[in-house]
Structure 1
Amino acid sequence: MNAHPVYKPATPADVDRMVAAHPFALVISANAGVPIATPLPLLMERDGDGAITLLGHMPRVHPHTDLLRAQPRALAVFTGAHGYISPSWLSDRTQAPTWNYETVQFDIEVEFDDSDAATELALNRLVDHMEQGRPQAWSVADMGARYAKLAPHVVAFRARVVDAYAKFKLGQNERPGDWAEILAGLERTRQQALLDAMQRASPSP
């Protein structure tokens, strides 16, 4: 995963954590030079060799589904914690504003599986992931007979990750004084997700 060294995630586990916490991605394709994009949740799987697969589902009848069947190469973009960094938080008023963020981009090759079993697996895996830890967690089985009516409208797929790019721009190159003031500004403005991300990426030992 290539990125400027200072903004590179420390370990593959950092990427896994971000994608698991922010699974809503944008899948982007091009058809004769015309872009098409579909937002959808994706689950990431990493095998023992580090190879990455994305599991998801799309509407069975949809122009992007048709395009991916014919042209399976696409880009999946995940955005994690992010936010505006205001110079108003800093003692040094000459500093410029910036935007801190986590992003992971996967160059993927999509393969659909039209079987009922694949759809059931994809839906159950996603629901279990999103419901984990919730009081009175919901499951697909709770749909009862409605499941048989709705499930045929989607199709499951796995996407093999061909290449990956991750950039966590989280103030790693800030001066210590500025760093502390930025964290204080995020806390005052209740941007907890970005505050947590920056603290994880802290350049301090």
Structure 2
Amino acid sequence: MTIPLTIHHDRQTVVHPAIADLIESYPLAWVTSRLGDASIATPLPLVADYDAESRLTAFIGHFALANRHVAALRADARSQILFSGPQAYVSPKHVANRTWAPTWNYSVARFDCRIAFDIDANDKALRRLTDKMEAMCGDGWTVDEVGSPRYETMKTHIIAFRADILGCDATFKLGQDEREGDFETITAGLEDQTMVAWMKKARG
């Protein structure tokens, strides 16, 4: 299944539920850009920003100030942000028909963005990310538990940013011309239950 999606700068497009599910479930993304003639990439956990009409508008995150990527993005704010969801090799051993070719299932989303730094938003960015992740793991830890002196020092070593979304496309490759009955055989045989769940969800 392939889902093309363009989110225009006028924010008129509501993000596809499958894409929202991907970025919410797998928040660690590759933030990529150019540094002169070279490419540069940093893995960062990001928080999605939605408007009142559920339109995806931006991502919130932070860099370590010592990361050379900060200088690169100050020189050229354009960035492509890449999210990758569940992925798995699917062997013909799961299909009764041995002529069926193996495949690799995956889910990815690519966002064209423009990044703006805001050091005054460091506290807000840290709290949003921590609150999101703690909600997912159910512990309820907050940044205040670090203690004021240490937390204030930590904030001086980072810089928050907002990545405004200019466009997006995503690919959900969660099957391959299975004959009737093969899909059930594959999902019954795959050990990766996360992939199985995503395949079944895509199948509807």
TM over 0.5: yes
Give the structure-2-normalised TM-score.
Answer: 0.88
- C-alpha separation in 1, matches of 2:141 and 2:4: 33
Counterpart check, 1:82 vs 2:87: yes
Number of the residue aligned with 2:2: 7
Aligned 8 A contact 1:89 1:181 in 2: yes
Give the CA deviation at 1:100: 0.5
Number of the residue aligned with 1:168: 172
Counterpart check, 1:50 vs 2:51: no
Matches within 5 A, 1:130-169: 130-132=133-135, 134-144=137-147, 145-169=149-173
Give the CA deviation at 1:32: 2.6
Aligned 8 A contact 1:9 1:15 in 2: no
Give the structure-1-normalised TM-score.
Answer: 0.88
Task: Name stretches of at least 5 consecutive residues in structure 2 with no aligned partner.
Answer: 6-14
Counterpart check, 1:179 vs 2:183: yes
Report the CA distance shift for 1:133/1:33 in structure 2 as closer, same or farther (over 3 A).
closer
Q: Render the CA deviation track for 1:81-116: whole Å, top value 9, x for unaligned.
A: 11111111110111111110111110110000021x
Report the CA distance shift for 1:9/1:142 in structure 2 as closer, same or farther (over 3 A).
farther
- C-alpha separation in 2, matches of 1:129 and 1:136: 11
Task: Name stretches of at least 5 consecutive residues in structure 1 with no aligned partner.
Answer: 1-5
Report the CA distance shift for 1:58/1:77 in structure 2 as closer, same or farther (over 3 A).
same
Report the CA distance shift for 1:159/1:151 in structure 2 as closer, same or farther (over 3 A).
same
Aligned 8 A contact 2:48 2:56 in 1: no
Aligned 8 A contact 2:103 2:176 in 1: no
Number of the residue aligned with 1:3: none
Number of the residue aligned with 1:98: 103
- C-alpha separation in 2, matches of 1:8 and 1:41: 23
Report the CA distance shift for 1:172/1:86 in structure 2 as closer, same or farther (over 3 A).
closer
Give the CA deviation at 1:143: 0.4
Matches within 5 A, 1:111-130: 111-115=116-120, 118-130=121-133
Q: Percent identity?
A: 37
Report the CA distance shift for 1:143/1:52 in structure 2 as closer, same or farther (over 3 A).
same
Deviates more, 1:9-18 or 1:156-165: 9-18
Counterpart check, 1:24 vs 2:19: no
Deviates more, 1:151-160 or 1:31-40: 31-40
Q: CA RMSD in A?
A: 1.8
Q: Count the aligned residue pairs.
A: 193
Q: In structure 2, the residue corresponding to 1:64 is in which secondary structure?
A: helix
- C-alpha separation in 2, matches of 1:197 and 1:135: 22
Give the CA deviation at 1:52: 1.9
Q: In structure 2, the residue corresponding to 1:201 is in which secondary structure?
A: helix
Match of 1:175, as an amino acid?
R
